[in-house]
């Protein structure tokens, strides 16, 4: 009997960091039942995924396909044991960066993952998980994440007008499902507490469920005043190093 191979591939700002922290914290309890692969182990794969979402060129896509296949080949026994691989950048960059206004790279990238899994494991029990949230909430959350982590200066209204047409995450998940069929895609809403539905794809003993420990939410939104001050820093400090130091000083104030 084959065990599930679960690819939790996004989306950004849908609780992915909290899911990954939960998997890491509970690895001792989960390790007997599945392999767990998180972002630090697949940095070169994610670099290629981000590159493809930027350039959309066949060479970078081939590089991504080769790298994810190499990762799979280095995981002996997972067809029997099971696997969770969680990394939101498997869908590429988060929309909102210059030239990246949507997740249209995601169906292409996840199709390559499906093909790589088939090359390594034949016909695996492969599942894709895409965590989602309501359009307006995601737009606001992604905007402020860009303000915090990049030099973004545009107003939210302009950002929403630019990114909004591609911000229906469940619609993107449906397009992914068409691309990777017949492998299932699970659209799991953020407010369901996504870690439990992901682990529900495995036949875990009751004792394992009872031993699992929750973790605090990761990468939660900062206070409104702090976010406004970060935006002001982006708009008033042009030097990259000085801007970074100013942001760090603000965030260290708590």
Calculate the CA 149 to chain-centre distance. 16
What pTM was computed for the model? 0.96
| pLDDT tens digits, 40-76 | 999 999 999 999 999 999 999 999 999 999 999 999 9
Closest CA to 49 of 70, 71, 73, 65: 65
Compute CA distances 63 → 37, 49, 55, 91, 180, whole Å. Answer: 19, 9, 13, 15, 19
| pLDDT tens digits, 202-251 | 999 999 999 999 999 888 888 999 999 999 999 999 999 999 999 999 99
Q: What is the C-alpha separation between 157 and 229, in angstroms, rounded?
A: 18
| pLDDT tens digits, 178-210 | 999 999 999 999 887 778 999 999 999 999 999
């Amino acid at each position: 009997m084959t065990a599930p191979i679960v690819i939790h591939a996004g989306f950004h700002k849908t609780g992915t960091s909290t899911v990954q922290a939960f998997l890491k914290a509970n690895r001792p309890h989960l390790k007997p039942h599945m392999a767990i692969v998180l972002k630090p182990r697949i940095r070169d794969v994610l670099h290629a995924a981000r590159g493809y979402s930027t350039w959309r060129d066949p060479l970078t896509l081939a590089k991504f396909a080769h790298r994810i296949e190499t990762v799979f080949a280095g995981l002996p026994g997972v067809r029997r044991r099971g696997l969770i691989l969680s990394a939101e950048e498997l869908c590429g960059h988060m929309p909102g960066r210059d030239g990246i206004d949507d997740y249209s790279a995601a169906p292409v990238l996840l199709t390559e993952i499906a093909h790589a899994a088939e090359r390594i494991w034949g016909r695996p029990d492969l599942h894709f998980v895409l965590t989602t949230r309501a359009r307006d909430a995601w737009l606001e959350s992604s905007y402020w994440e860009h303000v915090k982590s990049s030099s973004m200066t545009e107003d939210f209204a302009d950002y929403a007008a630019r990114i909004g047409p591609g911000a229906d995450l469940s619609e993107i998940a449906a397009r992914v499902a068409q691309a990777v069929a017949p492998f299932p895609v699970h659209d799991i809403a953020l407010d369901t507490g996504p870690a439990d539905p992901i682990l529900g794809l495995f036949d875990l003993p009751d004792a394992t469920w009872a031993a699992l420990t929750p973790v605090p939410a990761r990468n939660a939104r900062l206070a409104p005043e702090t976010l406004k001050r970060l935006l002001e820093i982006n708009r008033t400090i042009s030097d990259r190093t000085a801007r970074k130091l100013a942001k760090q000083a603000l965030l260290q104030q708590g």
